[in-house]
Chains A and B, each alone.
Chain A
Amino acid sequence: MGLRVLLAEDEPAVCASIAEQLRSLGHEVVGEAGSGREAVRLALEAKPDVVVMDIKMPDGDGIEAACRIAEERPVAVVFLSGHYDEELLSGVAESGGLAYLLKPATSDQLQAVLGLAHRRFQEMRDLKEQTQRLAEALEVRKVVARAKGLLMERHGIGEKEAHRRLQKEASRSNMKLADLCRAILAAEPFVGEHEG
């Protein structure tokens, strides 16, 4: 399974060698960044599946770049660094990085980590989308229930009848049920004043 990989590494020779390694594994290197800032720019432009990110780089290190990318266009980030210390690890965890490889990384290691990171990232993205959809569905349910309650109270009708009237009005005025309910709820304070 070939991935579109963005490689961020400031040492040209190291960068060239890792790029060769990635190509020989069947991946496409869609960009090579020599600084943190360039990594962010290319992550937005080249739309990679995975970013292989060095940490110590000029113009914004890899951890900073990963944070920026996570804000702008989240993507799976795998760190590949020649440095190892506790402080770096906590920065890596904060940045949303999915893995940390210490140089030198063999092709076996790169392949295993890239595949896993890509898979886990997709799962996370799917879960986020699902959560978003569920949150929206829940909000719609709440709005409809409140609008129904309002009609039931105002007209002394049952729930079924309230629901029927809402649906009828929505289809008559060509609105989504949730939008109609929101409009009813928004108008409620003024309607109350007028009648009272």
Chain B
Amino acid sequence: MSGRERATTEGQLSLYDEAVLLRHLSEQQGELVSDVLEHAARAGQVSEENARLARDLAGSQDRLQEVHHRIRNHLQIVTGLLSAQQFSETSATARRAFQKSIGRLTSIAAIHDLLARDPSSGELQLPALARQLAHHLIEHAGAVGRIRVRTDVARVTLNAKQATAFVLVLTELLSNSIEHGFGDEGRGEISLRVTAERGRAVLEVRDTGRGLPSGFDIGGGERLGLGLICRLAERDLRGSVEAWNEGGACFRVTFRIDASKGEK
């Protein structure tokens, strides 16, 4: 800038000044150009890297979809075989046992499906799933029109591990009410309620059926379903189970919502 100042005060530039100024300018231009080139090169590297990451991601997503597909196929094999056996059994007890297993399998398929559709996180919207599950189990037991369901489920967000345990516990509780609360003929209502407050979730399933037998001990029974409920509630949900009679059987599972992503 000194050359420019001199030029304004003196009105003209000496050849020397001009040469200095030009060299100075061209040095600056050169620096600018090399800066620009460097940035361009870096931008190129970044966009190449982005493209590579996008390709990797797309590949991973394809593979993930393939895995889900395979899981659904395997679930189909098991469902198909159990269903075929259920229909060919002549004993009612055996048929009911198969029916229960198919119900459990359907719940597992439902939870898998929900996780598969939202691969970015294990977060689950429970209300729709809980309703769907309840209606499915009632339909599966041939109790449509005989047993009504009322659901009041808060929008709880659970990670995949808790969600899986939750859905299995819910399946067992609902199946219990359908099977033991109402039997083959009973009519009534199951009310399903989930609330969440300050990181604690409460799941309540109440029915208007014949109630729990006297001396009922949830932890002491040998029934597979009850054992499952206790184990899942205590180990996977790190919660507790209570059961009592109040116009029918009532079950309450209380657990702390795990904020971590959990394993999928």
A binds B: yes
A interface residues (Cβ-Cβ under 8 A, vs B): 11, 13-14, 17-18, 20-21, 23-25, 56, 80, 82-84, 102-108
List the 8 shortest-distance A-B pairs measured between CB atoms, nearest first.
A17-B80, A82-B72, A24-B87, A20-B84, A107-B83, A104-B79, A104-B75, A103-B76
Q: Is the CB of B76 within 8 A of A17?
A: yes
> Complex Cα distance A84/B115, Å?
13
Q: Contacts of B50 on A, CB cut-off 8 Å? A: none
Q: Contacts of B83 on A, CB cut-off 8 Å? A: 21, 24, 106-107
B130 to chain A, nearest CB (A): 19
User: Is B65 on the interface with A (CB-CB < 8 A)?
Assistant: yes
Q: From known contacts A13-B77, A17-B81, A21-B83, infer whether A102 and B102 are also in contact, taking CB-CB under 8 Å.
A: no
Q: Contacts of B102 on A, CB cut-off 8 Å? A: 106
Contact of B80 among A56, A82, A83, A104 (CB under 8 A): A104
> Complex Cα distance A4/B70, Å?
28
A sample of 5 cross-chain residue pairs with beta-carbon separation below 8 angstroms, ordered by A number, consists of A14-B77, A17-B79, A82-B69, A103-B72, A106-B102
Interface centre among A13, A14, A21 (most CB of B within 10 A): A21
> Complex Cα distance A48/B7, Å?
99
B175 to chain A, nearest CB (A): 15
> Complex Cα distance A102/B76, Å?
9
A18 to chain B, nearest CB (A): 5
User: Is B106 on the interface with A (CB-CB < 8 A)?
Assistant: yes
Q: Is the CB of A102 within 8 A of B113?
A: yes
A90 to chain B, nearest CB (A): 17
Q: Contacts of B87 on A, CB cut-off 8 Å? A: 24-25, 107
B112 to chain A, nearest CB (A): 10
Contact of B76 among A24, A25, A56, A82 (CB under 8 A): A82
Q: Contacts of A23 on B, CB cut-off 8 Å? A: 84
A165 to chain B, nearest CB (A): 67
Taken residue by residue from 83 to 112, chain B's Cβ proximity to chain A (1 for < 8 Å, 0 otherwise) reads as 111111000000000000010011001000
Taken residue by residue from 47 to 84, chain B's Cβ proximity to chain A (1 for < 8 Å, 0 otherwise) reads as 00000000000000000010011111101111111011
Contact of B139 among A25, A83, A84, A108 (CB under 8 A): A108
B interface residues (Cβ-Cβ under 8 A, vs A): 65, 68-73, 75-81, 83-88, 102, 105-106, 109, 113, 117, 139-140
Q: Contacts of B80 on A, CB cut-off 8 Å? A: 14, 17-18, 20-21, 104
**19 more A-B contacts (CB under 8 A) besides A18-B76, A20-B80, A103-B72?**
A11-B73, A14-B76, A14-B80, A17-B77, A17-B79, A17-B81, A24-B83, A24-B84, A24-B86, A24-B88, A82-B68, A82-B70, A83-B69, A102-B113, A103-B73, A103-B75, A105-B76, A107-B84, A108-B140
Q: Please give me the residue from chain A that is nearest to B86 by CB atom.
A: A107
> Complex Cα distance A18/B73, Å?
11
Q: Is the CB of A105 within 8 A of B79?
A: yes
B74 to chain A, nearest CB (A): 8
Q: Is the CB of B69 within 8 A of A104?
A: no
Q: Contacts of A84 on B, CB cut-off 8 Å? A: 113, 117
> Complex Cα distance A83/B80, Å?
18
> Complex Cα distance A23/B85, Å?
11
Q: Contacts of B81 on A, CB cut-off 8 Å? A: 17, 20-21
Contact of A106 among B68, B79, B117 (CB under 8 A): B79
Q: Please give me the residue from chain B that is nearest to A112 by CB atom.
A: B139
B100 to chain A, nearest CB (A): 13
Q: Contacts of B77 on A, CB cut-off 8 Å? A: 13-14, 17
> Complex Cα distance A21/B85, Å?
8
A51 to chain B, nearest CB (A): 17
> Complex Cα distance A106/B85, Å?
12
Q: Please give me the residue from chain A that is nearest to B68 by CB atom.
A: A82
Q: Please give me the residue from chain A that is nearest to B83 by CB atom.
A: A107
Q: Is the CB of B73 within 8 A of A82?
A: yes
Q: Please give me the residue from chain A that is nearest to B112 by CB atom.
A: A104
